[in-house]
Amino acid sequence: MSSSPPPATGSATVPPLDPALAARLKRTDTGLVCAVVQQHDTREVLMVAWMDDEALASTLATGRATYYSRSRRSLWRKGDTSGHVQWVKRVSLDCDGDALLVEVDQVGAACHTGDRTCFDASPLPVRVGSRAEA
């Protein structure tokens, strides 16, 4: 019995996306859905990525986060080269069907820069509002 993880793409072991779920998705013109990725226990937002039907099907079937790279125009399973794996705990579709919330257990850095999240850069200047002003 092999202990290697299932392939990210093109495998007969990963079934196609359930047609009922596929019908609920509102994709971009290029067939993608936005995926907001969050650490499952702290609720920290780690990154934003894109999924096509194959990436979502692979994610749901394997428990490993798989995304569609718009720059490489191919699937990539998070952590295959860096070791910074995302173990999927839950995936939710938003009310409009145009975004996914992917809750993961992040191993190492989520960002390609080596930062914990893709939002570790300096925050933008903003006038902070309050309820009292409403």
94 belongs to an annotated ligand binding site: yes
> What beta strand segments (E) does the chain contain?
33-39, 45-51, 66-69, 74-77, 86-93, 99-106
DSSP state of 109: -
Query: Residue holding tokens 């893709």?
Result: 118
Which amino acid belongs to residue 79? G
34 belongs to an annotated ligand binding site: no
53 belongs to an annotated ligand binding site: no
98 belongs to an annotated ligand binding site: yes
* Cα(129)–Cα(133) distance, integer angstroms: 7
118 belongs to an annotated ligand binding site: yes
* Cα(75)–Cα(9) distance, integer angstroms: 7
User: What are φ and ψ of residue 22, in 5° steps?
Assistant: -55, -35
96 belongs to an annotated ligand binding site: yes
* Cα(56)–Cα(51) distance, integer angstroms: 6
Q: Which residues are annotated as a binding site for Zn(2+)?
A: 95, 111, 118
Q: Which residues are annotated as a binding site for Mg(2+)?
A: 94, 96, 98
Q: Which residues are annotated as a binding site?
A: 94-96, 98, 111, 118
